Amino acid sequence: MWSLLRRNSAFRKLFTAQVISYGGDWFAAVAAIGLLLDATGSDFLASAFWVAQTLPTFVMGPIAGPVADRFDRRKVLILASSAQAAAALLFLLAGHGMPWIVFVAQGGVTALGSFFGPAAQAGIPNIVEEEDLATATSMMG
């Protein structure tokens, strides 16, 4: 695993981008739940947040794979990550008496994030050698 990351700079960049992206998604989720609890005091809304986090994946998942196959994967990765960042900016509005915006923002972040995984996975054979393919695929989840 570590030798692949040392030897292959393209895979190292992709792997690092995925770790940062997924880590950011989870840190944002924890912050959003805290924001919902502070703004509303509702345990129900904090629990419902997880539906807003999960549901877009089920909806966008069947679409994301074909998009990753049809379009330039690098552009899909960049566009999905950039659009996720833009959707995350909606969280800034949530503290101003609009806690519902947390659900809209998280739904957008998660829906757009659904495109990152398939595009990253589909691009692995283009950047690693045949003998490293199994290791790279397992590292990318």
User: Can you give the pTM of this predicted structure?
Assistant: 0.81
pLDDT confidence tier of residue 75, bands split at 50, 70 and 90: very high
DSSP assignment letter at 71: S
* % of the chain at pLDDT higher than 70: 99
The predicted pLDDT at position 67 comes to 95
- Of 102, 111, 113, the closest CA to residue 34 belongs to 102
- Of 113, 102, 132, the closest CA to residue 35 belongs to 102
* % of the chain at pLDDT higher than 90: 49
Q: Quick check: 141 pLDDT over 80?
A: no
**56 vs 47: CA distance, rounded Å:** 16
- Of 24, 21, 23, 45, the closest CA to residue 34 belongs to 45
pLDDT confidence tier of residue 100, bands split at 50, 70 and 90: confident
C-beta contacts of 94-102 below 8 A and 24+ residues apart: 94/32, 94/35, 94/39, 95/35, 95/39, 99/35, 99/36, 99/39, 99/40, 99/45, 102/32, 102/35, 102/36, 102/49, 102/52
The predicted pLDDT at position 90 comes to 87
pLDDT tens, residue by residue, 25-68: 888 889 889 888 888 888 998 899 988 889 999 999 999 999 99
The residue type of 97 is: G
**How many other CB atoms are there within 10 angstroms of residue 15's CB atom?**
19
Q: What is the mean pLDDT of residues 11-30?
A: 88
Q: What is the mean pLDDT of residues 112-126?
A: 90
**112 vs 106: CA distance, rounded Å:** 10
